[in-house]
Structure 1
C-alpha cells in the first residue's frame, strides 16, 4: 500500500483539480467515489444521494472504494485516490453511528502519509452535486482529519496554491520518501 496515496480533506478544496493534473502527468488516478455515485444515482432512482440518504450513500461509497483498491492493485506505479475508503467510513459513522474502525478493520489501505486539502473559502463553490455549505464542509474536514490521525496516518496539508504548485509540492514530498 506504500504506493497508494489518499488525497482527502475539505469539499471544494481543490482535490479533484489536483488529481486531474496528476493524471495529465501520467499517474494513475482513482476518481472520487462520491461524485461517481451522485452521477449514477441521478441517472437512476436517486435513493442513495447524500442529501437524501447519507447512510446509503456512504455504504455505496465504501463498496466502491473497496473495488477501487482492488483495481489499484493491478496498476503499476503510484496510484492517487480522490477520497477513498477512510472518507466513506467516516461518513458512515457520522450518518449511522457505525464506528469507522469497524468498517476499516485492521488493514491500512493507503500509504502512511495522507494529503489533505484544507478549507479554502476563496475557491469553495456549491453546485448540483455539492449541496452542503462551507460550514458543513469544514466540519467534514475536521472529522476526517481527526479520524486519520486516530488511524495512525501522517497528515500533509496541501498548500493553497496553483494546481501546478500543488502537484509539484505533492510529488516533491513523494520523491523525498
Structure 2
C-alpha cells in the first residue's frame, strides 16, 4: 500500500501517544514520557528532508478532569524536547461526546495545523496508530499512514490505505513519495 503518487508532500503530522511516545493513559507527567524506539531518528529524517512537522493529539484527560491544560502542555514540551522540535502542536482537550470540531477523527486539528504551517491539507500526511488518526487525515483532505500497535484493531488496519510496520517505515514511505514527486 502506498501514498497517492501525484501529491506533493510538504508537511508531516504525528499523533502523540503510541506513535511518538509510549502510551501512558491520560499522561500528564513529563517524567513518564518515553519515546517510541526510533522516534527521534524518524522525526530527524523528516526534518532533514525539509518537511514541516507537527503533532495532533486528542487529550481527553483535560475534559475528564484528570489533567490540566498546563500539565498536558508540560508533557508535550517534554515530547518536543525528546523527539522534536515540532513546528506546530494542536491539542484537542475535549471528550468523545463533546461534539467539538477538533477531536480525531474529525478534521479540525489537521486543518488548523495546516493553516498554521501555511500548507494545504492536501500536502500533508498524518501518521498515527489508530483509525481515528487516518480518518481525521482523510476528512481534512490529507493522507494518512497507519502504524499499528498491539491496541490497533484489525478493522482499522484493513481500512487503512497505507500501513507501515513502524514509525521509521512510515517516514521512509513519505520521503520516497516526496522524492518521486520532486524528480
Q: Check whether TM > 0.5.
A: no
TM-score class, shorter-chain normalisation, is 0.3 to 0.5
Which protein is richer in helix relative to its size? 1
TM-score, length-scaled by structure 2? 0.43
